Chains A and B, each alone.
Chain A
Amino acid sequence: MEGLVYTALFAPLAGSLFAALFGMRPKTLLTGVVTSLLLLVSFIASTALLWHVMHVGPVHVKLMDWIVAGDMSIPFGFNVDQVTAVMMTVVTLVSTVVHIYSNGYMEHDKGFNRFFSYLSAFVFSMLVLVMSDNFLGLFIGWEGVGVCSWLLIGFWYHKPDVTRDENPSISPSWAANEAFIMNRIADLGMLIGIFLIYWNVGSLQYDAVFAAVPHLSHALLVAIGVFLFIGAMGKSAQFPLHTWLADAMEGPTPVSALIHAATMVTAGVYLVIRAHPLYSAVPGVGYFVAVVGTFVAIFAASMALVNRDLKRIIAYSTLSQLGYMFAAAGLGAYWVALFHLAAHAFFKALLFLGAGNVMHAMHDELDIFKMGGLKKVMKWTYIYMGVASLALAGIWPFAGFYSKDTILEVAFNEHTYGIWFVLWLTAGLTAFYSFRLVFLAFWSDERYKCYGFHPHEVQRYVLWAMFPLGLLAVIFGWYKEEFVDFVTGLLPAYEVSEHTHHMLPILVTVTLAIAIGGIVVAYVMYHKRLKRSEKVEASLPYRILYNQYYIPILYEKVFAKPYAELSDIAWKEIDLQVVDATVDGIAKVVEESGDATRRMQSGNLSDYLKWMAGGAIALAILAVIVVANG
């Protein structure tokens, strides 16, 4: 079994290193093929491990001792249990699809080889994150995916900065830096959480930490829970650290599909699920997590209502769905969160890849107001995106229905009716904005003709590569029972309708009703043609939503500007006047003393002898002083 674990883990790394060898060279198809094949190998190994965990039991391997200092012992260990096996399978499956897809999508890009190197490195980091058996290994993977995300968001780093009105994310390199810095802020919280764990438990191994949870004080558990959640908030882009995710859409679309929808952003949810014994011990923190998640769900959905950027809409929807996951995890229904995570990964990746196809066809135009009627020319993409949107909206029998409906049931079951109501409302909004996008892009009048676009369908193998995701977006929900049986081997078995069994049919009906209602509204408004109303677009709520509640501007005014000014002062006043002056002063002293003592070097041996005698005397005096004092 060890071999399988290492194959799954290191195949992407091998692919990344291989592609990196050709990183500075022009496109070679070989790198794309090799990395995709290695990812496929990793996926097969992950699936085998899933089977093994299902029928035999978890696997635990120790690669080597890593840090052994005093009482501290942190091995490079890998643990494949039920949660990890699910995550590994999801990650490697989506990654494989995205790798194959990227072969087509990045076909004409100069950085083709570099792209695959980064992408495979990301998968490796993500696998380290989910497979590690201790918090430090998780943190390494956590940082690794952060770095890869930074590299990939800023992949087109050569694009110049533009104003915020022209492009809300300014430029790829700006967006990359924003994402990285936001994550750094959150990682500090996570590090503090890890330090607290180590101080109080003396180990970072999951099993040791969770075994010690009952012996820790309540306040300490709250602190650890909150700090770890701050880390999760950064990685999963929860409010108030959410702004980077929408801007991260500056990266290539396969990256958005893989990292900023299906895998990396779910790392925060994974952390909460992984640390479930800790969060179960402090329900207050769990409730806080759920409230934050719920708020983000409706907050992000509201911004998606009016946005015109194809990818940003999907990004907001990702935020919203992450909110759902946190709500479920916070309420203690960990397997529900994991179930939604997996289902979401499939249909959201599919949605993004479909958006990539549209972008490809429209020559990187993202404004859905300039599209319309694309279903005639892009039939398969239309079908894929339609399926994904139905799944996202939570329509029976697609995957999203099972997972999202379960979350709503959990909220009701926990008697947190406020959370339930907000999530229910969000389900309607989700359906509306998803189908607003679908109708505006694929139905209605063919507006793109005015702009001179000639859209075309993408390559056939790219469409075939997307097929597994499409299939899973439809059927994944049907295997809910098996999934529950499997993961509750590790996660607490949460009975969804424990208290509200009789309400179940009504709840399902109500949820479906609002989802279908959202679709109907979108259909009525957009299926024929795009109607724009000056009055609505000038109204205050519209402008607030369109400008993301003015939060990016607020951040810039409140944090970025004063920080820049502070840096300016530090540069001109402290660095130049104090630090540089000190360094220059030292250099000047050395130079001048050298100048003054240059005459010692007369070349006359007799003079040298005199200096030597003087030096010997000085040393003798020093020795006498030292001996006399000591």
Chain B
Amino acid sequence: MIGLSHYLILAAILFAIGIVGVIRRKNLLMLFFATEIMLNAANIAFAAISSYTGDLGGQMFAFFIIAVAASEVAVGLGLLILIYRKYGTLDLDNFTMLKG
């Protein structure tokens, strides 16, 4: 029988995969993909807890996460386009504006 912890562990593994993507990739677009993976991992955990405890609050949070993800994509892609127009690349190693 599949228990709550199965889903939670799956969510944890997916989240870790997202972290690997965040650390490993230098392309900004790939970073966005990795972020989506992490958000979805959280969603799975929310939905699973919601289902196993009989509380709809978890699903509500999943909805809001999806809303946030959608806005993030909208704004984030807009920014990516601006960056690409300005620098002609999306490689993180080229951006060192924060260096003091």
Residues of A within 8 A of B (CB): 601-606, 608-610, 613
Contact yes or no, A601 B96, CB < 8 A:
no
Given contacts A613-B19, A613-B22, A613-B23, contact A606 B100 (CB under 8 A): no
- Closest residue on chain A to residue B34 by CB atoms: A609
In the assembled complex, B99 has its CB within 8 A of some CB on chain A = yes
Q: How far is the CA of A605 from the CA of B31 in the complex (A)?
A: 11
Residue of A with least CB distance to B92: A606
Contacts of B93 in A (CB 8 A): 604, 606
> Which residues of A lie under 8 Å from residue B97 when comparing CB positions?
603
Task: Assess whether B96 is in contact with A604, with CB atoms less than 8 Å apart.
Answer: yes
Q: Which residue of A lies closest to B97 (CB)?
A: A603
Contacts of B26 in A (CB 8 A): 606
Give 9 A-B contacts (CB < 8 Å), ordered by A residue.
A601-B99, A602-B96, A603-B98, A603-B100, A604-B93, A605-B98, A606-B23, A609-B22, A610-B23
Output the least CB separation between B98 and chain A (Å): 4
Given known A-B contacts A604-B92, A604-B93, A609 and B99 have beta carbons under 8 A apart: no
Q: Is the CB of A605 within 8 A of B95?
A: yes
**Using Cβ atoms and an 8 Å threshold, which residues of chain B touch A604?**
92-93, 95-96, 99
What count of chain B residues pass the 8 Å CB interface test? 13
The distance in angstroms between the C-alpha atoms of A534 and B82, with both chains bound, is 105
A602 and B97 alpha carbons, distance in the complex (Å): 10
Establish whether residues A605 and B92, one from each chain, have CB atoms under 8 Å apart when the complex forms: yes
Report yes or no: A603 in contact with B22, Cβ–Cβ below 8 A: no
B99: A residues at CB distance < 8 A? 601-604
Q: Which chain B residues border A608 with CB–CB below 8 Å?
A: 98
* Alpha-carbon separation in the docked complex, A602 to B92 (Å): 12
Nearest 7 CB-CB pairs, A to B?
A603-B99, A603-B96, A603-B98, A606-B92, A605-B92, A609-B22, A610-B23
Measured in the bound complex, the distance between the Cα atoms of B96 and A604 in whole Å is 5
Residue in B closest to A601 when the chains form the complex, CB atoms: B100
Residue of B nearest to A605 (CB): B92
Further pairs besides A603-B97, A604-B92, A604-B99: 15, Cβ < 8 Å: A601-B99, A602-B99, A603-B96, A603-B99, A604-B93, A604-B95, A605-B92, A605-B95, A606-B23, A606-B26, A608-B98, A609-B31, A610-B23, A613-B22, A613-B23
When C-beta atoms are compared, the residue in chain A nearest to B91 turns out to be A606
Give residues 2-44 of B contacting A (CB, 8 Å).
19, 22-23, 26, 31
